[in-house]
Amino acid sequence: MCHHPAARLRLCESHVRSSDHHCHCFYSMGNLIKVLTRDIDNNGGNFFLDFENAQPSQSETDVWEKVNQVLTEAQVILEDLQSYRGAGEEIRQAIQNPSVEGVQEKAWSAVVPLVIKLKTFYEFSQKLETSLQCLLDVLTSSSSTPTQHLEQKQALARQFAHILHFTLRFDELKMTNPAIQNDFSYYRRTISRMRINNLSSEAGSEVNNELANRMSLFYASATPMLKTLSDATSKFVSDHPEVPIENTTDCLSTMASVCKVMLDTPEYRSRFASEETVLFCLRVMVGVIILYDHVHPAGAFVKTSNIDMKGCIRVLKEQPPSSVEGLLNALRYTTKHLNDETTSKQIKNMLQQN
């Protein structure tokens, strides 16, 4: 675990402007708050948190600007996904009236623009992967401890939190929208039929076959963006054998601790300007736990883990069920080690569906 008190808690001022635009300034005066860190370090020391206004220093600017472009697009992606209605009715009609040409055409013209949207979402996941790897590159380099990185590069740590927040939000929306997979399956079935019947040489020009296969795999996952990030983090670790794995896992576990303490301590939590801030912290906490579980050889659930899993799950279960069910499902179905024998019965029971 990282023992430098000065950065442990900088992190979860993470509300910043949440993806759903509901947040206002954390503190009306915009002042930094002092936080007692006895919860983490038992040293009773004070230090500052500023996750709200962290601006990039000169050395961070290049990476920050690249990632910022991706985060700006992330807002648009979430809005598009939120308003994604699907072509369920047109598809139903087309299946019921297979020989009525007009009905078939109507379904096809409803589905094609939706598939183009799904293609944009998929391509965005690859941009997100690149951004995550850029940030990990900086936040895990051996020039400082992971905690010092988080403290000294708060603007990049804040972007990392935003990537996780976007990821969990995207997956929550995708999980509750069955139209996405139905639309894409219908598109693929119709393309095969057109090709078999030689109806159109243009069939499938929106998405070629190789891309369609990759998109199918992506959308088949319950949490596609989280899977992308988990795979990217694991790949980052295996591609950089010169970087000790602890650099990455300590960075992730510190972020998880910070979020948990922010959520768990009434005196901090009462300062949140908006309920959306609480959700932001919850999503970031779950995101880093899942990445940690994929990257750490023993995972997040063993007794020796640097993450207080019981505490994190308890914090989740204290929230209104409707706002955390998607996050609990992400822990149940997207982690790697939950069902290992080394995971205590107590943790498994806490995550059982009621």
CB-based burial, 42-54: b 16+ in 10 Å, e otherwise: eeeeebebbbbeb
Which DSSP category does 336 fall into? S
Mean pLDDT, contiguous 10-residue spans, the chain (354 residues): 37 34 29 32 35 76 95 97 96 95 94 96 97 92 76 84 92 93 94 78 75 95 92 93 90 86 77 76 92 94 93 93 89 91 93 80
Q: Three-state DSSP class for 47?
A: strand
pLDDT given at position 48: 34
40, 261 contact by CB (below 8 A)? yes
CB atoms within 10 A of CB 202: 8
pLDDT given at position 199: 64
Q: Which long-range contacts (CB under 8 A, 24 or more apart) does 43-50 make?
A: 43/5, 45/5, 47/5, 47/6, 47/9, 47/10, 48/10, 49/9, 49/10, 49/11, 49/12, 49/13, 50/10, 50/13, 50/154
The two tokens of residue 231 are 């795979």
pLDDT given at position 38: 32
Could you give the CA distance from residue 345 to residue 339 in angstroms, rounded to a whole number?
10
pTM of the shown model? 0.81
